[in-house]
A and B are shown apart, each in its own frame.
Chain A
Amino acid sequence: MMFGWTGRVLWVDLSSGRTAERSLDPEVARRYIGGRGLGVRHLLDHVDPRTDPLGPGNDLVMATGPLTGTAAPTGARYMVMTRSPLTGAVTCSNSGGQFPAALKKAGWDAVVFQGRASEPVYLWVDGQRAELRSAAHLWGKNVPETDAALRAETDPAARTAVIGPAGEAGVLFASIMNDRHRAAGRSGVGAVMGAKNLKGVAVRGTGRVALADGKRFRSLVTRYIRGFKKSFGDGPVPLREWGTAVTVIGTQNFGVFPTRNFQTGRFEGWEKIDGRMLTEKYLVQARACFACPIACGRGTRVPDGPYAGQGEGPEYETVYALGSDCGVDDLAAVTRANYVCNETGMDTITMGATIACAMEMSERGIIPEKEVGLGRKLAFGDAAALVRLVEMTARQEGFGRLLAKGSLRLARHYGHPEYAMVSKGQEFAGYDPRGEQGMGLAYATSPIGASHMRGDPAYIELLGVPKQIDPLTWKDKPQIVVDWQDVFCVIDAAGLCVFFSVRNYVRPDETIRPEGICDLLNAATGLDYSVDELCTAGERIFNAERLFLVRAGFSRRDDSLPPRIVSEPLPDGPAEGMVCHLEEMLTDYYRLRGWDADGVPRPEKLSELGLA
């Protein structure tokens, strides 16, 4: 018997309609931990890295970690791994809520989907029983409707992960939405589900995750909860009070709040769309994922006006992408556009960044007014156009068909790829790398393209966690980015949330060694991980993802940033005059990684990590 892990993986062959249970290899579990690690190990073993992402040869893995579904604070996460239709790289789409814990409590470490169903189906997992059922009657329904229907047909207490119309229609940045409002958002994992004719997964999980040393585990949980509470004294927890959109304060202060498609890093309307304004105007309730003491989720309602509605969000990244990046300071419109993304199942970051790219090309006269079809010229700051274009994208209507392909394909279509703010075809998160050098390196080397969540230097460069360093220096950043990327692999593999982890589970210096995660994993699993072994496991996962990319044809030329970021100085703010010094950082980074000059892991590095 395994502890922490359930030891069981559910394999679903959509082509034949058969499901099967397979054991989790304990040695693989130890070396890859879970979540992101199990996902990439599966892809390396079973998926041709050059396979058509939307073809039946691509597998989709939903993987929890050994701490998912336990009482470990923020043990709520799962990872969706597949080959991305947006980027051609691996995905690491991560989400919390209640669904991942339910999957674990149902007795499964992971679910592997293979092949393609001939008709729409959904998977019903009732504890250890699993069956595919017809979803023909659900095709075309949005996320809340699908969630309601699945629970009505299975069990009212079931938790769901589903796609909306965007995933069905192959929007290249379609998300998988769980518990209605939480998104495995990035890289188009929802389009892969749609291509498989898989509408959703419903899970009823009522068991408990078996722990090797329950007493020790509970005492650790108590310690971390107490430490968390103590760290805020009698003051508020910022993320609970104001949500992640409070981060606007940090990015605006440093002049890296991306504005009008990264033309500047300071947004004049920032105080109209930040977390304090959201709390004041639209917050109904702070909502927490499973086992989370933070509660950064925003249950919100826009009570009246043209954008009235209710749902969850916006998060910081959404406020950037659908707000400042589009020059929109109307929080009701941003919130409404967010609701539409959630209901139809689309990534808010790529959606907003793609509209921002279109706005810039329109203002420069590259996109003719009649092609957009709004009856007026598309321009930054047009809140009504923002909401309309999101709706058109979800329905693949008119100009929305082009937007549904993401910003790089849109910009290429008009012959100007330089206006797509992407790395590896993935749109940037809400941090301008010219004023935050480490983030530039992280964007360029992230296995999924420009993500902030695969080793997020914004914490240490902008937000003062675990300490503050200068965001404008670059010589010191390669080592920090390497260390953070590896530790984030551990966080993602264990099934934890980054938000709690970087403040509470790691050594509070720039190495962020995952000491607390090590203690929790050992109490949960009964193994004897050392912190060094965990860091090596993180490095193994990161290199395994790199190996998948190399085999898919990626190399140094893809570890790139757009010309605007490396050669156009920021025009104003604290980082005025700066460009991102990517090339200088990249050479050092490859050396520290044990990769050759083209970004390929050297044979001795692969041997050292057991990946040869």
Chain B
Amino acid sequence: MRVRVRLQLTFARCAPGGRNPFDLELAPGGTVADALEAAAVPSAAPKVVMVNGRVATVRQVLREGDALTVFPPLEGG
């Protein structure tokens, strides 16, 4: 299945070939964690992950066409 990934701010440098957002091919039943690993996003780095505009955990199972957005925790404004 295919999901769309947008990496923001400090994670933007992980985008393949500078393409951002980009599509990822995952096995059916793949999770947010699988997508992050496939996108080479550093696992230890604190991050906020959204799937289709809602907050997601790394264990969330993804579906065809899901849109992931990943950004670092921000200190505020």
Contacts and interface: CB of A to CB of B under 8 A. Distances in A.
Interface in A42-97: none
B40 interface: no
Contacts of A573: 53
Interface string B45-77: 111101011110000000000000101111111
A456 B53 CA distance: 21
Nearest to A430: B77
A457 to B, nearest CB: 11
B77 A465 contact: no
A255 interface: yes
Nearest to A576: B53
Sorting the interface of chain B by its residue count into under 10, 10 to 19, 20 to 34 or 35 or more gives 20 to 34
B53 A247 contact: no
A242 B75 CA distance: 11
Interface in B14-60: 45-48, 50, 52-55
Contacts of A317: 77
A316 B10 contact: no
Contacts of B71: 249-250, 253
A502 B71 CA distance: 18
Contacts of B75: 238-239, 244, 294, 296, 463, 465, 499-500, 502-503
* From B10, B69, B71, B75, residue with most partner A Cβ within 10 Å: B75
A553 to B, nearest CB: 32
Contacts of A276: 9
B9 A246 contact: yes
Contacts, number: 88
Given A463-B48, A573-B53, A574-B53, A238 B76 contact: no
A567 interface: no
Contacts of B52: 574
Contacts of A253: 8, 50, 53, 69, 71
* From B9, B75, B77, residue with most partner A Cβ within 10 Å: B77
A409 B22 CA distance: 49
A463 B73 contact: yes
A170 to B, nearest CB: 29
* From A316, A430, A458, A465, residue with most partner B Cβ within 10 Å: A465
Contacts of A471: 55
A249 B9 CA distance: 9
A235 B46 CA distance: 12
Contact of B74 (A233, A236, A315, A463): A463
A470 interface: yes
A468 B77 contact: no
Contacts of B53: 253-255, 573-575
Contacts of B50: 253-254, 574
Contacts of A33: none
Contacts of B9: 238, 242, 246, 249, 276
Contacts of A254: 50, 53
A250 B74 contact: yes
Contact of B76 (A231, A465, A470): A465
A317 B77 CA distance: 7
Nearest to A458: B76
B54 to A, nearest CB: 6
B8 A249 contact: yes
Given A238-B10, A249-B9, A464 B73 contact: yes
B48 A464 contact: yes
Contacts of A296: 75
A459 interface: yes
7 closest A-B pairs (Cβ-Cβ)? A316-B77, A574-B53, A247-B77, A464-B73, A464-B48, A244-B77, A463-B74
Given A316-B76, A468-B73, 13 more contacts: A238-B75, A245-B77, A249-B8, A250-B71, A317-B77, A464-B48, A465-B73, A470-B54, A470-B55, A471-B55, A499-B76, A502-B75, A574-B50
Interface of B: 8-10, 45-48, 50, 52-55, 69, 71-77
